[in-house]
A and B are shown apart, each in its own frame.
Chain A
């Protein structure tokens, strides 16, 4: 069974550019989470979805960040415009509904904004 798939694995972009991160959750999982990991702030929950519906986006830093889940097998996290302080590793995780504490993480996207 494939785990959570994220793309790209690495992204280098310039300040002001749009960045789109992609995630494919484990088949059958109906909860999806986006996290950001930095040295300064550790692991932060940005947003999570249940059955493709955003449930809690209180962790999204500001309006430059948006996330969508158009279907059960795909989600995107978009940053527009990107800034150097957005540099981090972004993780996607999925779980079965009702078992949100047992999350399966993807390998992450390492983003560097110059």
Chain B
């Protein structure tokens, strides 16, 4: 079956620090990969996605590269801001149903 494993949180960084949140997956077929973000008190929002191997998704300064050889989709940002404080979810979709399978989420707190 499909599964997503994310690095354990919480992660606390100072403003302008470099961010990496690790994500690895197990899937049948050729999944599409996603990062969703949940700001406090809100629902999840799609942050970025990649639909095939070696694709790089990017948005709002965040990037993630679909690495088929390591079954990974790590999220990175070169310089985080306080406003990036949120919970980040890695997810995949695979198969004909195209439903999302989410990781457990990683809480990020950025301190000024």
Residues of A within 8 A of B (CB): 4, 42-43, 45, 48, 55-56, 91, 93, 98-108
Contacts and interface: CB of A to CB of B under 8 A. Distances in A.
B97 A105 contact: no
Contacts of B105: 42-43
Interface string B31-62: 01010000001111110010000000000000
15 contacts: A43-B105, A56-B97, A93-B44, A99-B98, A101-B34, A101-B49, A101-B91, A101-B98, A101-B100, A102-B46, A103-B100, A105-B42, A105-B45, A107-B42, A107-B43
Contacts of B104: 42
B32 A101 contact: yes
B28 interface: no
Contacts, number: 49
What is the interface of chain B mostly: helix, strand, loop, or mixed? Answer: strand
Nearest to B89: A43
Interface residues of B, number: 20
